[in-house]
Structure 1
Amino acid sequence: MTPRPPLDPRLTEQRNPATAEIDRLSALEIARIINLEDQKVAPAVAAQIDAVARAIEFAEAAFRKGGRLIYVGAGTSGRLGVLDASEMPPTYGIDPQMVQGIIAGGYTALLNAVEGAEDSREAGCEEMDAREVGPNDFIFGIAASGSTPYVHGALTRAKQRGARTGFLLCTHPDEWMLQVYDVVIAVLVGPEVVTGSTRMKAGTATKLVLNMVTTGAMIRLGKVYGNLMIDLRATNEKLRDRSERILMETLDLEREPARALLKASGGSVKLAMVMQWTGADRERASAELARHGGRVGEVLKESRAR
């Protein structure tokens, strides 16, 4: 007998033959099969690495023009966008406006389902107008199924307002998406363990991609030196200790000189490093850093050349 074609062409809505009898398995067997399915996520992301790199470049370009990276999603996709955005200020010391997360139904939808919110293209459009999206911004839509009206409405309006647009999905994109959006990232993780439960593999893939986009953009902006987070401010005891240890390691200082240098820099690790390398005061070090696009490594390179 010829296998019946799937009733829905979207990968996220298809049944996974590997888990067709998962309801009869033991706890250990369930854990094993979920783990096996999860192992498909990283290779699926790797297959889209060029598109991810373009998204990083678009985010960096937006930031350098004073614009924003704004995620737009619904349900799990929206929550993951809000999560990634919320982690940027404490991790990299940026203004909370630089990376924003919008979820259909508003912040109520973070904890509770808001019925029908994702079905309104108009609501997505209105959100772009309310945030005065413009040419300096990068609007990144997230919809595992690829079909969420709210997200496409937001991206359409963002495009009309001159913004760059990106789209992340976990099924095959329609041809029009590739033509309309500036970058499309299609992470094909396959059908879920539980049919349609995109908080699983699709959600994991989404978090990996969003982490890569924001982390990559922050690195490009000079907020990392080597693999150290250096664009942080010592606002509490834990961060003061971390800041001092970074200065001790990168500048070969003892604790007390590192502490004094951090104080002189106003609690900024980046400025402290530039001050030490160039012999400049805080104001001149800040100007030097700005001249190099915020990249401490470039300041060090030039300082050594001198």
Structure 2
Amino acid sequence: MFRIGRRQVISKPKRKRFKYIYGPVSSWRLGRSLGIDPISSNKKTCTFNCIYCQVGRATKFSKRRKIYVKTEKIIDEIKSLPHLKIDYITFSGRGEPTLAKNLGALIKAIKKLRKEKIAVLTNSSLMNRQDVRNELALADFVVAKIDAPSDRLFNLIDKPMRDIKFGSIIEGIKKFRRIYAGRLGLQIMFIDLNKKITIEWASIIEEIKPDEVQINTPTRPNKTAPLSKKEIVNIKNQFLKISSFRGNLVLVYDSCRKAVSPISTKHALKKRGRGIERL
């Protein structure tokens, strides 16, 4: 508070700028989701270079796990959060979150401080590693990505590092399912290249036995055109015809979004490829 002549002016406290936390965003699969970016690099660091990625091209390929942001720095931001109405605290952001070697430590620490459920969105590339599976198992909800039913399509769509193989990813997810007591979702990003539902798709999903399958298409701005709502519904119907899976099928166009009030700047959301209405 300070005086201008006889008039008192109350200065507003500065809004805290969060470096590693963003949102909340209104998510079609997670409700009100507060994001944590455990990579938080100016360069997109990933194991894939997906043709539809809203964050842009991977400028740093890596499959080496390391601590990108110290655990205490992220926890300090968690402790300084204002009152928020959120459904999930979600690990995602500018790169593959399982590259963060302290992912498990972060999940444990946050669970001691917050009551909300914790989700991790992963491209599944490191799930063949036992340490990654053990850390993911600490989360309440893991969304593992599979964009292709074959090695050929996997290489065309996800453009992985050379030594990352489609078969090892599928085996890694199967092993994770066997130890995981939480909620497992499989996300499939459908584009024109992979929109034909085949027996191979059905077999993979039936073998993994997820709790839900998320049928997605790239609705955020990028060079790859999204499929229409009619095409997405047709994919669902094709899948139901050939598959014995009777878990939850979630469609990106069918969801009802919740209102949110973000604490992070538009720049922070854009940097991580997030709009207020997209996750």
What TM-score, normalized to structure 1?
0.29
From the two aligned structures, give the one with the greater strand fraction. Answer: 2
Structure having the higher helix fraction is 1
Higher Cα radius of gyration: 1
